[in-house]
Amino acid sequence: MSPVIPVGPYHPALEEPYKISLDCEGETIRDADIEVGFNFRAIEWLAERKNYVQALTLVERVCGICSNVHTLTFSRAVETIAGLEVPERARYIRVIVAEAERLHSHLLWAGVACELIGFQTLFMTCFALREQVMDVLEAISGNRVNYAMNRPGGVNRDIADPARVLAAARNVRTATERQLIPVLTTDRTVHARCAGVGLLTREDALALGAVGPTARASGLGQDIRRSAPYEIYDRLDFDVPVRTDGDVLARVTVRALEIVESCRIIEQAVEGMPEGPWSSGDFPRIPAGEACARIEGPRGEVFYYVASDGSDVPTRVRIRTPTFQNMPTVRPMVRGMTLADAPLIQASIDPCYSCTDR
Amino acid sequence: MDAEALLTGLETETGWQRRRDGCWAEVDDLDPRAMTRLLSKAEARWVTLTVMPAGTGFRLIYHWDLDGELLNIATTIVGPSVRTIADLLPAAEWVEREMHDYYALEFLGRDETPPLMLRPDDEPGLFSRTQDLGRDVDPAEYDERPTIPEGGRP
């Protein structure tokens, strides 16, 4: 007998709805079917009925974790249509906030992964570090989520206390290098639970259009910050960690190393941030036109297409989030694995169903 | 292979343009399957498909990434169908189902197109059916009724 085990759409541990049906042979998973859309909000449809100010606020609600990348990507698409230049200081602020968002996202994920592995003490370490980042984001924006920092032509707020941001970045980097990375990469428990589990080959990653750390853990070196630099990334010194093993351990390692790189980026950006304006002034009138924009979010490439007919309401807003591309990779990852590995494998792509469903 | 050579291979009559947001090509009678084979062979990475209503048909923009350069290959179709590429490129499987949900756009060659965002009993074409709903701002009246406040501050 070959039972199909339905998991979801409601989960006791995961506060987002999705469903995965696991076709099993004993304890071994033969195949999986993934269903999404339980949180579908038609945000693209709604954005085509809001003016640009309202649409900017709306797209920030696509995701509760990486909300900042959505306003940044939308703003950059609008800036391209309008031919807007962004002041230098605003570019630095955008990068600092984007990397702080990556830090809190990666640390959140690392904590959740540790809990799934059964490593409670490391879970606490991750969340203690994340809290420092959340405090910095709150100090900058006034909010712990939905920071409302970006707008076409600049940012909505300055960073009043760069020294605090710098201190937090250094602290997180030191703790990550001394505590988190050694444990995540060498601890026997982590290794036993993650090595060789949930394999995604380079070929499958490319065929399925995987992005972000999921792709980079399978040997694809793509990172929009490096391959198509935006804001000030082309002036910063940072590495793009890539692993070729394609298993859960590789995805854990890539994200852990990216925490260090994000801290390095923040440190450089804070130290090099010039004085000057941080906004180009009034909200611009958007001419007719169309443009695409891409940002490297915590989970990978975020893509926006915006079309304008010259009115103050966009005629088309297309949003492609990273998890939309990464979620189908779970299917080849779970094939041949044991049932007990399925939760960890799903978590290893750092899924965001709110983003996927939009 | 660089973007220029690839886009030349698509035999676009209007040529291609390099813009601030990547390379753009408008291709009449685009063969999406030939395009997919061409770009997959060059290891271009699939990004997504954008669909929008255009007259009685649709404007389709296929977005790819070639070594960091965004390639946007656009075409306009008159009818409600286009050939699938999902069998050639699994990365396009979900987006075809999504666009079927939104616009009832048929992807010819698929065995089935189950809903992705909608539920099994929902009628596809949600965006097309509701195209005129909620559009309370008439672009023609923009100068008289700006919804962005004076001074421009959000």
| Residue B3 within any structural domain of the chain | no
- A136 vs B12: CA distance, rounded Å: 50
| Residue A10 within any structural domain of the chain | no
Neighbours of A90 (CB within 10 A): 24
CA distances from B6 to A256, B66, B92, B131 (A): 37, 10, 20, 35
Higher-confidence residue of A114 and A128: namely A128
| Residue A33 within any structural domain of the chain | no
Number of domains comprising chain A: 1
Mean pLDDT in residue range A293-297: 96
- pLDDT of amino acid B145: 46
| Residue A74 within any structural domain of the chain | yes
For tokens 């490297």, name the residue. A296
- pLDDT of amino acid A21: 92
Residue A347: is its pLDDT beyond 70?
Answer: yes
* CATH code for the domain in which residue B120 is found: 3.30.460.80
- pLDDT of amino acid A261: 96
Helix residue spans in chain A (DSSP H): 43-47, 52-59, 67-82, 88-117, 120-141, 162-175, 181-186, 188-194, 202-207, 212-216, 224-227, 248-272, 322-326, 330-334, 342-348, 353-357
| Residue A15 within any structural domain of the chain | no
- pLDDT of amino acid B70: 94
Residue B153: is its pLDDT beyond 80?
Answer: no
- pLDDT of amino acid A284: 82
For residue B35, the distance in angstroms to the closest alpha carbon of chain A comes to 15
Q: Does B144 touch chain A (CB under 8 A)?
A: no
- Answer yes or no: do B119 and A293 touch at CB < 8 A: no
- Answer yes or no: do B154 and A151 touch at CB < 8 A: yes
| Residue B82 within any structural domain of the chain | yes
- pLDDT band for position A67 (cuts 50, 70, 90): very high
- Answer yes or no: do A282 and B20 touch at CB < 8 A: no
- Answer yes or no: do B69 and A324 touch at CB < 8 A: no
| Residue A27 within any structural domain of the chain | no
Record the pTM. Answer: 0.91
| Residue B144 within any structural domain of the chain | no
Residue B15: is its pLDDT beyond 90?
Answer: no
- Answer yes or no: do B152 and A209 touch at CB < 8 A: no
Average pLDDT, rounded, for chain B: 85
| Residue positions counted in chain A | 358
Higher-confidence residue of A313 and B134: namely A313
Number of domains comprising chain B: 1
| Residue B120 within any structural domain of the chain | yes
Higher-confidence residue of B7 and B55: namely B55
- Per-residue pLDDT tens digits for B103-151: 999 999 999 999 999 998 889 999 988 887 777 655 455 444 445 555 5
- pLDDT of amino acid B68: 92
Contacts of B19 in chain A (CB under 8 A): 80, 291
Of A20-29, A134-143, A236-245, A273-282, the poorest mean pLDDT is in: A273-282
- pLDDT of amino acid B138: 52
Mean pLDDT in residue range B49-59: 92
- pLDDT of amino acid A193: 84
Which range marks the domain in which residue B124 is found? Answer: 8-130
* CATH code for the domain in which residue A250 is found: 1.10.645.10
- Answer yes or no: do A328 and B47 touch at CB < 8 A: no
- Answer yes or no: do A51 and B90 touch at CB < 8 A: no
| Residue B149 within any structural domain of the chain | no
Residue A47: is its pLDDT beyond 70?
Answer: yes
Are B35 and B92 contacting, i.e. CB atoms less than 8 angstroms apart?
A: no
- B129 vs B127: CA distance, rounded Å: 6
- pLDDT of amino acid A1: 62
Mean pLDDT in residue range A79-88: 93
- pLDDT of amino acid A264: 95
Identity of the amino acid at A95: V
Percent of chain A with pLDDT over 70: 99
Interface test with A, best of B17, B26, B39, B45 (most A CBs within 10 A): B45
- pLDDT of amino acid B144: 47
What's the complex ipTM? 0.91
- pLDDT of amino acid A94: 97
Residue B73: is its pLDDT beyond 50?
Answer: yes
- Per-residue pLDDT tens digits for A152-195: 999 999 998 999 999 999 999 999 999 888 888 888 888 888 88
Q: Minimal CA–CA distance to A243: which of A259, A225, A266, A220?
A: A220
Q: Does B142 touch chain A (CB under 8 A)?
A: yes
| Residue A34 within any structural domain of the chain | no
| Residue A22 within any structural domain of the chain | no
- pLDDT band for position B11 (cuts 50, 70, 90): low
Higher-confidence residue of B16 and A103: namely A103
Of A12-21, A61-70, A115-124, B35-44, the poorest mean pLDDT is in: A12-21
Mean pLDDT in residue range A77-82: 95
Which range marks the domain in which residue A155 is found? Answer: 41-356
| Residue B137 within any structural domain of the chain | no
Average pLDDT, rounded, for chain A: 91
Are A265 and A231 contacting, i.e. CB atoms less than 8 angstroms apart?
A: no
Contacts of A54 in chain B (CB under 8 A): 147
- Per-residue pLDDT tens digits for B89-103: 999 999 999 999 999
